[in-house]
Amino acid sequence: MPKRRRASAAPGPPTPATRPRPSSEPGAPHGRGYQSSDAIPRFVLDLDQPCDERWQAVAHAFRPTFQRLVARNKDLLEAVRANAVASAPPPPACPPGYLQEVHALAALLRQPAALLWSLQLSYEAFALTQLPGDACGCTSAAVDCDDGVVHARTLDWAWLDGMDSLLVDLDVRRRGELLYRCTSVVGFVGVLTGMRAGGSSPGGGVGGFSLSLNYRRPFSGAWEDGWPALELPPPRKNPFIAASKRHAARGAIPVALALRLALETCSSYESACSMLLSTPLLAPCYILAAGGRPGEAVLLTCGLGTARTEQHIVPGGVLCVTNLDPSPEETPSLPEPTCGTFGSVEAKDFIQGESLLRRDMMLKILRRARASAMRGASSSAAALGFTACANAMATSPISNSSTLHTTIMCPALEVFVSQRSDGPKKFESHGFAADTALCETCFRCDRRVACIDVNSASAVESGPGSLLRRRGGAYYCWTHLPLRQKDLSFRA
């Protein structure tokens, strides 16, 4: 379950040289509908400048904040540096320009280069090993609208105390033109959420696309009831560490750097998908990509190396991914090393159950919005996609205590809106339960229950009657929540 993080002070406003410009100004990025959240400072990253110069404004503005975060999270960062995955040397296929940026950032932030490099491999370390402070999540969704696909995501990765104070919006430019925009964390040169500039023209030309990365653990074995297990084994028995090193020797690169490489080198949705399908990766993940035309969206379920499966959006449909494979029975879709059979349902519930809740809630909200559009409401991105996605991302458990930011993108309309998360909306249980489209019935009784604060450790421990949990393939109220393997009598 994601851990709570303490609130921390947001960084000061950006310097005048990097203060966001209104979209009406000449040269402002994403002129048709560009928006920016004042809560996240915005900087320009010019790829034509040397590495130490392109990151200078960011490092100067955030050096004190970054140093405080390192001191506050010293033990956890040491655990990451000592991790068998994060301590690995840069893979041979890693673009040299990115390595130069890591060394330049280390010097500008006055931190060891080894620490900065371990941060670049932090996703791989969390995906392949068990780390303290494990708080990975994320929800991504795409809605097919009449004038383009709306792509929304929440980033649930508050594994460092105060990590939200390092959020930045980056306008990445080359030869004086906007190349892409992303929301990132100071010290991290990869991309987890980004959109390539381009949009669509009246003549049909399309060049933009958007990408989001979701956390995926490798399939580790099977539970006694046949469901896949995602609980990782101890390091000495973990086959994924050695497998990742083998793939590194064969040309695999870190996942976040692969997304950045696609945004910088691919000029279309088709070329980006082709590249991401063929690029070997150091860790499993989910990548949701959306293009500039209606119907252009695909979910890539990625394993180590080049193992991939694809799920394309249907016309007028919805795609959603959290942190489990998108198959009817949640069975693994890729052949991977296995680590045995597990007997307890507790770990499975904590790892998979919360992801199931987030995915179910997102799909219900977006599909309900689509149904309203079919009854006569507008199906445009502005009327349907933006509103539905914004409402969904503000709902618990999609927004939770580990959510760093929420982002809505639309490549066709060149819209990129990223905001610091304020946490989930606080619903009154009786008022929320009245919305029957967002509630479920307990499998053992006829009580209808809403999903409220499912990520709150205190709420789980106190056992409030309004808390709904999903275990196996069914929903249960707290009274009838099965605690033993033999009580799990239902499968989806």
Domains of the chain and CATH, by start: 29-41+136-420 (3.60.60), 429-487 (no CATH)
Question: Rounded distance, CA 380 to CA 187, Å?
Answer: 38
- Give the tokens for residue 42: 């915005």
Question: Rounded distance, CA 116 to CA 182, Å?
Answer: 19
Strand order in the sheet with 139-145: 318-321, 139-145, 148-156, 403-410, 415-420
pLDDT at 341: 43
Smallest CA-to-CA distance from 165 within 1, 20, 6 is with 6
AA identity, residue 265? T
Q: Is 330 left (phi over 0), alpha (psi -120 to 50) or beta?
A: left
Question: Rounded distance, CA 119 to CA 90, Å?
Answer: 12
pLDDT at 352: 60
- Give the tokens for residue 456: 């709150």
How far, CA to CA in Å, does 135 sit from each of 3, 262, 436?
Answer: 6, 27, 31
- Give the tokens for residue 171: 């306008």
Helix pair angle (269-278, 255-265), 10° resolution: 150
Smallest CA-to-CA distance from 199 within 406, 33, 390 is with 33
- Residue 37 has a CB neighbour count (10 Å cut-off) of 18
Structure-derived torsion over alpha carbons of residues 172, 177, 180, 183, reported in degrees to the nearest 10: 40
Q: Tell me which residue has tokens 């046949």.
A: 226
Residues in the chain: 492
Question: Rounded distance, CA 298 to CA 278, Å?
Answer: 15
Beta bridge partners of 297: 290
Beta bridge partners of 300: 287, 310
pLDDT at 214: 94
Per-10-residue mean pLDDT, the chain, length 492: 38 36 32 46 96 95 96 88 81 90 96 93 85 70 91 89 92 94 96 85 63 83 53 70 88 96 95 96 95 94 89 91 66 40 43 71 84 66 78 82 90 89 48 43 64 36 42 59 43 28
Longest dimension (CA), the chain: 66
- Note the Cα 129 to chain centre separation in Å: 18
Give burial (CB, 10 Å; 0-12/13-18/19+) of 492: exposed
